[in-house]
Copies of this chain bind each other. A is one copy, B any other.
Amino acid sequence: MTSCPIALKADACIVLGHGSGGRMSAELMEEIFLPAFRNAALEERNDQATVRVPEGRIALSTDSFVVKPLFFPGGNIGELAVYGTVNDLAVGGAIPRFLTAGFILEEGLPMETLRSIVVAMAAAAERCGVSIVTGDTKVVEKGSGDQIFVTTTGVGVVPETVRLSAGGVQVGDRVVLSGSLGDHGITILAQREGMELEGDLQSDAGSLFELCQAVLQAAPGTHAMRDLTRGGLSSALNEIAQSAQVGITVDEARIPVSTTVRGACELFGLDPMYVANEGKMVAFVPEAQAEAALQAMRELPEGAAARIVGQVTDRHPGMVTTRTRIGTERILAMLAQDQLPRIC
């Protein structure tokens, strides 16, 4: 099986038996997961959690996380797995309530690595007001995985007043961006390349829940919101343009990008419009409410650098264009190849 010294607690690591459904699986549950996630549903120790929801609509979202490296400035795979799924619910106008977590562990993963990730997940879940109510762990042989993959699924409650949908975006809507682009993607890239960056760049991994709620309260006419993960701002805008069959134009000069990120992008030939973020969002808001949405974002630390960066037009339906810094217009196409694999 493995030569990992399971008897020595301090340097214990994951062996295939931890995925057996037997005694070692139970130990993992008692020693790692339960102490971190402790809640009534989990303590029932059933293979399913039973929770209570009000009548109406619930939002479901799922994401698998394979980020490499596992730990990076500003976060780790566990925090990403919580924030990423919470944010998908939040941009749908939902109140995130419950998470499930599936772990695929590679034989030989140090137990302390798993514990750090799980503890970080618990803290992130608490910050978001969600409970991790059920989960599953599988173990694959050394060489058949890559340390740890985490899949989270979120359940949120959607208030009856919420009517958000990509297809509902209207000509005239303003595009309100919550902050600067590319911090997460460039942080990961720098870690992977062993590159020292100027300044103290770190991932923007964090919850968008409060930001989304603030926007909906200040601008109840908001038509859609998106977080800007894989594929960056460009993918979010292109998906909306195609769903709603509208054109979107953005003004590049108005898009905040830190000098560190801009410098790294130039070095690697990347465009910040395509680089992943883990704590940024964009809202499509009717012109009359756009300023209110902007101010609401700016009142929160995670939205302090918010800007209105573009608008929805009836020209070139299904396409996104940008006005460049030198005044020309270019098409912002959907990302064609992967710039940065395993960014989340």
Contacts from A to B (Cβ < 8 Å): 1, 15-17, 19-26, 44-66, 88-89, 91-92, 94, 98, 100-104, 133-141, 143-146, 149, 151, 153-156, 158, 165-167, 226-227, 229-231, 234-235, 239, 243, 274, 276, 333-339, 341-342, 344
Contacts and interface: CB of A to CB of B under 8 A. Distances in A.
A63 B102 contact: yes
A166 B45 contact: yes
A278 B138 CA distance: 16
B49 A61 contact: yes
A88 B50 CA distance: 11
Contacts of A234: 22
A20 B133 CA distance: 30
A342 B140 contact: yes
A301 B3 CA distance: 46
B141 A144 contact: no
A155 B60 contact: yes
Contacts of A276: 21
A211 to B, nearest CB: 16
Contact of A62 (B53, B101, B341): B101
B140 A46 contact: no
Contact of A58 (B1, B51, B165, B230): B51
The 7 A-B pairs with the shortest beta carbon distances in the complex, nearest first, are: A21-B230, A22-B335, A55-B55, A21-B231, A153-B153, A151-B151, A20-B338
B231 A24 contact: no
Nearest to A340: B20
11 contacts: A1-B337, A1-B338, A16-B338, A21-B229, A21-B276, A48-B91, A50-B59, A62-B134, A104-B149, A144-B145, A145-B146
B104 A66 contact: yes
A201 B19 CA distance: 25
A137 B342 CA distance: 11
B100 A20 contact: no
A138 B25 contact: no
A213 to B, nearest CB: 15
A79 B60 CA distance: 21
B146 A47 contact: no
A229 B98 CA distance: 25
B138 A66 contact: yes
Contacts of A57: 50-53
A268 to B, nearest CB: 16
A48 B22 contact: no
Nearest to A337: B17
Given A64-B102, A227-B47, A336 B24 contact: yes
Contacts of A135: 62
Contacts of A154: 48
Given A44-B166, A48-B89, A334-B26, A19 B58 contact: no
